[in-house]
Amino acid sequence: MMQFYKKRDFGSFISDSFAFFKLYGKNYFKSYILINGLLLILLGVIGFIGFRDFFGKFSSSNLNGNVGYFEQSLEDNLGLFIVIGILIFLLYSALATINFLFPVFYIKRVSKGSLHIKTDEIISDFKTNAGKIFKLYLGIIFLIIPGSVFLIGISSALMLVLIGFVLILFVIPTLFNVVTFLTYDYFDSKRGFFESLSYSIRSQFSYPNGRESSPYWKYWGASIILGIIYYVISLMFSLVPKLFFYGSLFTTTPNADFEQNPFTGTMGIIFFIVSIVSAIVSMILMNVLYINSGLMYYDSRTDLHQKMELAEIETIGINE
């Protein structure tokens, strides 16, 4: 059983993130796949239809020099395009929300001493917290995302004078940690959205008691290391196969069907499968980053460390 409410150093965040999946991985991903599976299938089917019919026509028009072909096709199927777009947005929002909150609810349960979490229990957490989930969703959409875009935009603009490259390395991991801390605290404490947001920002730079050294560097360092691992592995599953596919577009002798839509037939199916596999791998890998942030959040809750340690000691005494 893993201890969650305790102080960790930089190396412990990384090693314990992987140790978490060694201990709970089978149970964790069983529920994760059961809850996300149907949404993934629906999103994949609808995405494939839209991708094949619309992006394929756009590509074929560029290949054949028919600049207005895609625009004309879009006008003729505008209603279908809007319906598919709305469905993809709704399904993706639901998938992103579940994918983001699943580790929060799971780690909250195991941190309280549960060893085997049932899928029904996680689903129950989603139902029970439906109101808070909706408020969090609105807060992220209308406050967090615009603020993040603003900060990243400024950092990107400053790349012209090189300092932006340094800023990006700090802005993105810090923003990620702030958002994940906000989510963990919002569902693990009795604080409201803005109180949790305030805590998530303050906890990046200092512990609640204010007497210990800043945890910022170990939080940032662990996020950077795991972020690089995530990026490299995701790149292997997405970029390399897609490069082979796009290379085949220019090396394969086109036939009539290919010229009409290069994303139909065998190559289109291969590209679709590669895209789906890449998306699934990226989603699964993101769980390592989410769990890592969860361990950071519990590290920051020094107000609960001693309380949880005493509870564990009492539990050991009872078991004996």
Q: Could you read off the pLDDT of 268-284 as tens digits, one per residue?
A: 667 677 777 777 888 88
Closest CA to 297 of 21, 65, 63, 104: 104
pLDDT at residue number 319: 46
The residue type at 54: F
Q: Which two tokens stand for residue 103?
A: 């580790």
> CA-CA distances (angstroms) from residue 153 to 144, 159, 173, 285?
14, 10, 15, 26
**The pair of three-digit structure tokens given for residue 65, joined into one six-digit string:** 């020099």
Stretches where the chain sits below pLDDT 50 are 62-63, 256-261, 316-320
Distance CA 223, CA 294 (A): 12
Say what the pTM is. Answer: 0.83
Domain boundaries, the chain: 10-319
Give the position of tokens 């917290």: 129
Residue with the two structure tokens 């004078």: 161
As a whole number of angstroms, the distance between CA 106 and CA 110 comes to 6
Residue burial 66-76, b: 16+ Cβ < 10 Å; e: rest: eeebbeebeee
- In terms of phi and psi (left: phi > 0; alpha: psi -120 to 50; beta: otherwise), the region of 207 is beta
Give the pLDDT of residue 318: 46
User: Where on the phi/psi map is residue 65: left (φ > 0), alpha (ψ -120 to 50), or beta?
Assistant: left
User: H helices of 189-301, where?
Assistant: 193-202, 216-251, 256-260, 265-300
